[in-house]
Amino acid sequence: MLRAGYLWSVLVLALTLAVGAAAQEPSAQAPAKNPPPPRSDTEAVEPQTEPQATTPSGKVPPANPAATNPNESSSRSTIIDISPPVGDAQEHPDSEVPADLSGTTELHPWNPHRAEKNIEVGDFYFKVRKNYSAAESRYREALLYKPNDAVATFRLAQVLELTDRPSEARQYYQAYLKILPHGPYAVDSHKALERLQTQSQNQSQPQSKDSPKDSSESPR
């Protein structure tokens, strides 16, 4: 009887221990929770842009005021236009006047009015005073203020022929015909070129003593 009670007590104790061990096993096998990420004491600071200066009206002034007002410094960038009128080269192609005898050309602004005045004074010296040197100077100056002027070119050719410079005179007669092929002095220019050509041929051939002298026509 005592032995049976002892066995019964041992059995109850064993069951109690087994139940306790089974209750503690799930808690031991439970996965550990992930620790929270470490918190940094320093936070990223966004770059701050410098505030732009504003006017009393609240508008931002332009970076370069001169760029919005190109006329502000117009006095510094003003360039004098000395080019001939538009379409002059198309109306008179291949009408360049031969270069000056000195080989240098002064730079003058385009001034047809002043060129006309020089032609008038040159005509006075040429026709009235017979001062061919002064007339030549005026005609050349007229061509500086108005290149390819037909009248100045023709008058200069006449002066050069009268002062015994046939080669240069021929160049200016030809230049006039390029400027105005059918101008008022075109016929006279053709006659002058023929006359200069005849004189050049006669000078290249020796004349006999009995041959008559060449009665070439003088320019009007």
| pLDDT at position 141 | 97
Q: What is the DSSP string of 149-216?
A: -HHHHHHHHHHHHHTT-HHHHHHHHHHHHHH-TTSTTHHHHHHHHHHHHHHHHHHHSPPPTTSPPP-P
Res 66 pLDDT > 50: no
Q: What is the pLDDT of residue 168?
A: 97
- How far is residue 15 CA from its own chain's centroid? 109
Q: What is the rounded average pLDDT of the residues 42-46?
A: 50
- C-alpha 179/C-alpha 214 separation (Å) is 31
Which residue spans within 21-167 are E strands per DSSP?
none
Under CATH, which architecture does the 111-204 domain have?
Alpha Horseshoe (1.25)
- Residues 21-43 pLDDT 10s: 666 655 545 555 565 665 555 44
Residue 118, pLDDT above cutoff 90: yes
**Is pLDDT at 77 greater than 50 in this prediction?**
no
The ranges assigned to domains in the chain are 111-204
% of the chain with per-residue pLDDT over 90: 41
pLDDT band at 179 (very low <50, low <70, confident <90, very high): very high
